[in-house]
Amino acid sequence: MSTTLEKTPATTPAFQQVSLARKVKNGFATTLIWLSFLIAVVPLVWLLATVVVNGVKRIPYSNWWTEDFGSVLSDEVGGGVLHAVIGSVLQGLVCAIIAVPIGMLVAIYLVEYGRGKLAKVTTFMVDILSGVPSIVAALFIYALWITTFGLPRSGFAVSLALVLLMIPVVVRSSEEMLRIVPDDLREASYALGVPKWKTIMKIVLPTALSGIIGGIMMALARVMGETAPLLVLVGYSAYVNWDIFGGEQAALPLLMNNERVSNPFDEGTVAFDRIWGAALTLVLIIAIVNLLAMLFARLVAPKKK
Amino acid sequence: MRPGDRIFQILTTGAGVFVVSLIGLIGLFLLVQAIPALQADNVNFLTSQVWQTTPDDMRFGIMGLLLVTVYSSLLALIIAMPISLGIALFLTQYAPKRLARPFAYVIDLLAAVPSIIYGLWGLMVFAPAIEPFSQWVNDTFSWIPLFAAGNVSPDLRGTIFTAGIVLAVMILPIITSLSREVFERTPTPHIEGALALGATRWEVIRTTVLPFGKAGYIGASMLGLGRALGETIALAIILTGAVGREFTWSLFDGGATFASKIAADYAELNNEISAGAYIAAGLVLFLLTLVVNFIARSVIAKKGD
């Protein structure tokens, strides 16, 4: 009896003996899972490298940032993307001015007032709205703004289409931020006799504000890269146009598409440099907006204490 | 109730109702604008593969667009689904906690790249790079209808094959991030229970994480499908329009999707009657993405309860 006990040490219980087949399966799955992650990183690195390597040729020159393409021929080196940057920023800002209040009101409704069926339907519809393709949003604004109201194509029409795409993102992120505001704050305010709307405006919103602004900037970065509404709703102009309500107006994606369609864009051509230069400019702007968004979002952390 | 409260409640509820009604408005406006063109259509709108929008002789049908749209999106989904699953599992089960966050951020970066840049990269960098592979597949397996010679020029660049792969990269982030959220919520006792029974890591995943997250993963994939169906400018750049050619089920076909067709022919919108044909196509795309998103959200919502 005692001899058999000595032969089987207590440190290796039977269930640690994993059969070879199970080991192989486990190793195989582990490999596949690591591999899938690597597969996803490859296009990202490849994509960014392409944009940076091809785009960096013109960006460092000051005229890239201070001039438009109005005074240079389409196959002439020189000029810059000022007109498109102005267009992109203007359209993005006007879109934000309309979409942010609506989105935040909806978020406040969902968090502070929404009970019952309407709140459920609203949540669902916001999700559905976020799945509407940008070209459909553009066609809707086309049907509404241009055909029904008879108004001209303009940067403002683009902003309206972007509003549709931005609202769901603003609602989602604001809602999330409002929900993490502790109920204690609301209750303390009510206890002092402060009306609900004042509690929301003076207590709840300021507490969540930096996080909300972060979410808004993320949404703004997203819509500034949209191309489809630009194609349908505004014409391209190579000149700076500050008037968002009238006339043709450039934006970075529209500029890229215009150069692509109207000029041969093989490597070494002017159009090639312009397209990738504009792509890098767009990526830089989006990166900056995203960085600011992250900074704002980080500011929310100390308030949780 | 105090007047300030009443006004505020009406305002926020109104914003909620507005967002809910948007979906209906989009459908309504597109339908109204599409009707005149549909009445002037000389072929069957649902079954014809022809797309001719000359105002005197309107002959347009959506079957060709529908086939290319669904075919390229399904290809993207088939490629993206397993990879996303792998990444989501990697991020939740394999990556060290310290690395999981930055890695998730890297994957999210893929979603922040504007789709026009995906399009340019897809056509100018990615397509030439996989051309030898496409050519080899085409030469070797041409006896399978899937890989038979397609209806576009033999350099095999602007094909559904290329478009599908680029689309797959574009929808990876949304499937991954949603699946990750679901997998993260796997109850810890389940995982610990499986571990206590001596399961390998893969067995833990197979017996606890996957069954728990299955519905969420499928919902996430359908959201990705919805995104792919509506993708516009990337496909407009990559896909070579095969004018007048019938769809043959070959991956080496060209063609156009709903969204890419509208984007590529945006100039046609200037003519009111031809515009109706594109709006009608947009309406079908809207309904298609609506149905897909509706199902996806229902699946996810059911799991959340």
Full DSSP string of A228-260? HHHHHH----SS----TTSS----HHHHHHHHH
Given a cut of 80, is residue A303 above it in pLDDT?
A: no
CB contact under 8 A, B259 and A257: no
- CB-nearest to B121 from A47, A125, A286 is A47
Identify the band that residue A305 occupies on the pLDDT scale cut at 50, 70 and 90.
very low
SS3 A80: coil
The reply to whether A36 falls in a domain is: no
* pLDDT tens figures, A75-111: 888 889 999 999 999 999 999 999 999 999 999 999 9
- Averaged confidence pLDDT in chain B: 90
| Cβ contacts of B117 on chain A, cutoff 8 Å | 47, 51, 225, 279, 282-283
CB contact under 8 A, B16 and A106: yes
**One-letter-per-residue 3-state SS of chain B:** CCHHHHHHHHHHHHHHHHHHHHHHHHHHHHHHHHHHHHHHCCCCCCCCCCEEEECCEEEECCHHHHHHHHHHHHHHHHHHHHHHHHHHHHHHHHCCHHHHHHHHHHHHHHHHCCHHHHHHHHHHHHHHHHHHHHHHHHHHCCCCHHHCCCCCCCCCCCCHHHHHHHHHHHHHHHHHHHHHHHHHCCCHHHHHHHHHCCCCHHHHHHHHHHHHHHHHHHHHHHHHHHHHHHCCHHHHHHCCCCCCCCCCCCCCCCCCCHHHHHHHCHHHHHCHHHHHHHHHHHHHHHHHHHHHHHHHHHHHHHHHC
The backbone torsions φ and ψ at residue B56, rounded to the nearest 5 degrees and listed phi first, read -75, -30
Structure-block tokens of residue B89: 């599992």
- Averaged confidence pLDDT in chain A: 89
Identify the band that residue A2 occupies on the pLDDT scale cut at 50, 70 and 90.
very low
* pLDDT tens figures, B172-185: 999 999 999 999 99
Residue B196 contacts A where some CB pair is shorter than 8 Å: no
**How close are the terminal C-alpha atoms of chain A, in Å?**
63
- The sign of the dihedral angle between the CA atoms of A91, A92, A95, A97 is negative
How far is the alpha carbon of A242 from chain B, nearest alpha carbon, in Å? 24
Task: Give the total number of structural domains in chain B.
Answer: 1
Range name among B121-130, B200-209, B235-244 with the lowest pLDDT average: B235-244
The reply to whether B45 falls in a domain is: no
Return the closest-CA partner of residue B125 out of A274, A221, A52. A52
* pLDDT tens figures, B49-59: 888 888 888 88
- The sign of the dihedral angle between the CA atoms of B289, B291, B296, B300 is positive
CB contact under 8 A, A231 and B266: yes
- Percent of chain A exceeding pLDDT 90 equals 65
Distance CA A170, CA A215 (A): 6
Distance CA A256, CA B38 (A): 34
CB contact under 8 A, B112 and A286: yes
B139: containing domain = 63-302
Residue A232 CB burial class (10 angstroms; 0-12, 13-18, ≥19): buried
Residue keyed to tokens 């630009």: A230
Distance set, CA A11 to CA A14, A15, B272 (Å): 10, 11, 83
B233 Cβ contact list (under 8 Å, min separation 6) = A227, A228, A231, A253, A257, B115, B116, B119, B260, B263
- Check residue B246 and give its pLDDT: 79
**How close are the terminal C-alpha atoms of chain B, in Å?**
33
Range name among A75-84, A126-135, B238-247 with the lowest pLDDT average: B238-247
- Check residue A294 and give its pLDDT: 84
Given a cut of 70, is residue B303 above it in pLDDT?
A: no
A152: containing domain = 82-299
Given a cut of 60, is residue A302 above it in pLDDT?
A: no
User: B166: domain CATH number?
Assistant: 1.10.3720.10
Given a cut of 80, is residue B155 above it in pLDDT?
A: no
Residue keyed to tokens 């486990």: A26
CA atoms within 13 Å, Cβ hemisphere of A123: 15
Q: Report, as an integer, the average pLDDT of A157-186.
A: 94
- Percent of chain B exceeding pLDDT 70 equals 97
- Check residue B3 and give its pLDDT: 84
The reply to whether A132 falls in a domain is: yes
The reply to whether B44 falls in a domain is: no
The secondary structure element, H or E, covering residue A59 is: none
Identify the band that residue A13 occupies on the pLDDT scale cut at 50, 70 and 90.
low
- Percent of chain B exceeding pLDDT 90 equals 61
Given a cut of 80, is residue B1 above it in pLDDT?
A: no
Distance set, CA B105 to CA A33, A207, B101, B173 (Å): 18, 26, 6, 10
CB contact under 8 A, B285 and A197: no
The residue with greater pLDDT, B157 or B114, is B114
The reply to whether B32 falls in a domain is: no
CB contact under 8 A, B117 and A283: yes
SS3 A68: coil
- Check residue A76 and give its pLDDT: 84
Structure-block tokens of residue A113: 């007032």
- Check residue A300 and give its pLDDT: 67
Distance CA B23, CA A183 (A): 33
Task: Give the total number of structural domains in chain A.
Answer: 1
User: A188: domain CATH number?
Assistant: 1.10.3720.10
- CB-nearest to B200 from A22, A110, A257 is A22
* pLDDT tens figures, A21-73: 888 998 999 999 989 888 888 999 999 999 999 999 888 888 999 999 988 88
- CB-nearest to A47 from B117, B198, B301 is B117
Given a cut of 70, is residue B305 above it in pLDDT?
A: no
- Check residue A1 and give its pLDDT: 44
Residues 104-163 of B with CB under 8 A from A: 106-107, 109-110, 112-118, 120-121, 124-126
- Check residue B146 and give its pLDDT: 86
* pLDDT tens figures, A223-261: 999 999 999 999 999 999 999 998 899 999 999 999 998
Given a cut of 70, is residue B217 above it in pLDDT?
A: yes
Q: Which of B10, B22, B210 to mutate to test the interface with A (most CBs of A within 10 A)?
A: B22
- Check residue B120 and give its pLDDT: 94
The residue with greater pLDDT, A281 or A40, is A281
CB-CB neighbours of A192 under 10 Å? 8
Distance CA B207, CA B263 (A): 46
Identify the band that residue A179 occupies on the pLDDT scale cut at 50, 70 and 90.
very high
* pLDDT tens figures, B83-112: 999 999 999 998 888 888 888 888 888 888
How far is the alpha carbon of B150 from chain A, nearest alpha carbon, in Å? 24
Residue B139 CB burial class (10 angstroms; 0-12, 13-18, ≥19): exposed
Distance CA A218, CA A294 (A): 8
